[in-house]
A and B are shown apart, each in its own frame.
Chain A
Amino acid sequence: MLDFVHESILMRTPDGRITHWSQGSQALYGWPKENAVGALVDDLLSSTYPLPIAEIEKQLNRNEKWEGEIRRVIARGESLVVYTRWALQRDAAGLPARIVESAFAVGSVGQAEALRASEYRYRNLFQAMAASFWEIDFTPVGAMLRELRAEGVTDFAAYFRKHPEFVREMMRVSRIIDVNDQTVALFADGDRSKMNLPLDAFWPDESIHVYAESVLAAISRQPNYSTETKLRKTNGEIFDGLFTACFPLESIAKGTLLVGVIDISERKRAFAELGRSEARYRNLFNSMGITCYQLDISGVIRIYARLKAEGVTDIAEHIHKNPGLITEAMQATIVTDVNEPGIAFVGAKDYAEVLGPVSRFWPADDPEGFRQAFIAGYKSDARFETETSQQTLDGRRLDVLFTFVSPPAMREAGLALVSLIDISERKNAQKALEKLQNEFAHASRISMLGELTASLAHEVNQPLAAISANGAAGLRWLDRPNPDTAEVTTLMRRMAADAQRAAEIISRIRLMASPQTPEKAVISIGSLLQEALLFLRHEMQARGVSVTTELESDLPGVLGDRTQLQQVVVNLAMNAIQAITSTQTPHRLIKVSCTLPDDRGIQVSVDDSGPGVAENQRARLFDSFYTTKPDGMGMGLPICRSIIEHHGGTIWVEDGSLGGARFCFSLPPASAGITSGNHT
């Protein structure tokens, strides 16, 4: 029977000689029975006692038993701490006959100390943990439950549901043994005296079921029970707590249980807020009328890292040299989410079809928008917006306003958002407006040609008259008995030159008269001014107006439509001529100059010696149908303005240096990032 238990049971004589050695003893100490029986216990196991051995023997003699920890050395030579219980048995004469000693290992020396430390830590923990701990005596609850069972109740869960007052009573009889400082802080604002309340004070009605369930868990021998529940503070405030009850068997036997409470109201609030914010975001994402994508850009960020490691600073130049980089980046930019409107927008059959690389949405012949976005991303710009075109999965082409957003927090997570707004209609309207403006510009040119008819006729008639005279002279020289062929050759040469001259004049007129749609090219503003003045040469001469030009050297070209820009210069110069001839001014002068001020690009100015423009008329001068001329339509300057603004410039009037007005316009130089091929 003694061998049946795993504990070590040994018997020894009062002087310490071993008479019985159980299997448990062999297992515990390592020595076989043969070595042990007959040996002195202290020789075999070299024991170290917690008290002087005489004192232990005194206690044993008095109480017939002793128990305590002893350190012993076992067969393997290791130290072991054992917990022993000694019982003294006497003979018929009442003298000590033998001692029965049971022992089990508490652990190695280190373990025993660790155990004590752990007990200490537990106490510490009980006090120091950020959680509220309660030690509760529920022996009275046990009594109530036994009574209930005695009354024949078997389904406690149903009974608790039906009788909340019974649960309340269980709470009231549960006695609080101890609480830690955190509990006092959490439930009683740090005032321990306020904790002197029955347990049910801390349970609001809405949480009665939680208490009932924890009792049921204890009855059904679960090791613990944990749930989120509302609890009440002593000041009446109700909060969200994570409630945990532990039912270790030892505690159950003792009739106590340990309860932990963690305040999760902050976390609850944060979660609720997060949930709301996520819901708001989803709502926004889905209900916005515009297309939204979420992109996984982690692949692109890796490309950026690689380029930065390679020391690339001029990213635009690097792309220019490695065009494959754009394709690689498109492949690495993955749509991971799209909202409802987006599915239809890109012509997809369903949500899943949209997901994947963005390369499918960028037209192969126009990746410019992506290129710019890629460059902006390399510079860590959080936002990038451009007007670009996208192709849909069902083969349409759309003009869109493309907005890319990736603030640092999103970027760190490898995320970006893209919104697309269809601007095709606006683009169409813009095209229609441009067409209308071109038509107006054309009408204005025709009207100017009308005003210049006399001058232009003069200009054409001049070479025609020369041709006619040369022809007549040539015929006469040939009609002589000895034809003067040398003279005739000279005349013929002049005729050819005059015909060429006439053709050039006609071509200038035709250019002005043509309704052609504007074509932008890089043009020299100097040659444009010369040509415009050539056009007006006879008109100025006829009206006795002399013109001077001042051109700064090394002017950059401008990007624009030659006919329209020339039209502006001709219009301004004609206005100058008309201003001068409207008054009897002795000086009839026009100065056309082209300068390069630092801040305004290329500036063209037309100064006249006319009467000037009154301050209060200047602002309205460029409005449609406003005119200061008796037979004017008031369309010339508005059209000039629309042409200049369309070229990215501005037009204005100021006081001139010749006593009259100075009309100026400025245009951005063509070198400012635009080339003739790139315009859309």
Chain B
Amino acid sequence: MPNQADLAPHISVVDDDESLRLALVSLLRSLGFTASGFGSAEEFLDSPDMTSSACLITDIHMPGMNGIELKHKMTHLRAALPVIMITARSEPELREKALASGAVCVLMKPFDAEKLASCIGQALE
């Protein structure tokens, strides 16, 4: 995806919920990033954005490969980009599992834009 500002970091979003995915992409752009969205983990792994992204925001619960499995896969592929996980579920053990897999941040839907921005800041450090 060509970006108007090459200097702005590129962030990828993976979520099977189209509405939230589009909202996130728009939010990231309003925050000054370039962003692209993917409906599934598999789609993202097949795209060039897998290597060009500065950060990945992924949902945990998705049909097919879930967010945690995607992180494991990326680790396995030695893709080092930081991952922020989001979920609509609230089970504490899920959060533990996500952090253990190497996620920088785990956000509960619905989340605050400021909180997301600070997570991204943390990820891009």
Contacts and interface: CB of A to CB of B under 8 A. Distances in A.
B63 A461 contact: no
Interface stretch (A105-113, A207-215, A465-473): A465-473
B24 interface: yes
A469 B24 contact: yes
Interface string A530-560: 0000000010011000100000000000000
B31 interface: yes
A470 B20 CA distance: 8
A431 interface: no
B22 interface: yes
A8 B59 CA distance: 146
A477 B24 contact: no
Interface in B18-37: 19-20, 22-24, 26-27, 29-31
- For A470, A477, A490, the residue with the greatest tally of chain B CB atoms inside 10 Å of its CB is A470
A571 to B, nearest CB: 23
B79 interface: no
Chain A contact residues: over half helix, strand or loop, or mixed?
Answer: helix
Interface residues of A, number: 30
A464 B22 contact: no
B90 interface: yes
A466 B17 contact: yes
Contacts of B111: 465, 468-469
Which size class do B's interface residues fall under? Answer: 20 to 34
Contact of B26 (A454, A458, A465, A473): A473
B13 to A, nearest CB: 10
Given A498-B19, A501-B19, A469 B88 contact: no
Contact of B89 (A454, A468, A474): A454
Interface string B59-96: 00101000000000000000000000010111100000
B17 A462 contact: yes
Interface in B86-120: 86, 88-91, 108-113
A9 interface: no
A476 B31 contact: yes
Contact of A541 (B19, B20, B61, B108): B61
Given A457-B89, A497-B19, A541-B63, A464 B26 contact: no
B19 A472 contact: no
A473 B89 CA distance: 23
A450 to B, nearest CB: 15
A465 B91 contact: no
A668 interface: no
A674 to B, nearest CB: 41
Interface string A376-411: 000000000000000000000000000000000000
25 contacts: A454-B90, A457-B90, A459-B88, A461-B88, A461-B108, A461-B110, A464-B109, A464-B110, A465-B20, A465-B109, A466-B19, A466-B23, A469-B27, A470-B23, A470-B27, A472-B112, A473-B23, A473-B113, A474-B30, A476-B27, A490-B26, A491-B23, A494-B23, A542-B89, A546-B63
Interface of B: 17, 19-20, 22-24, 26-27, 29-31, 61, 63, 86, 88-91, 108-113
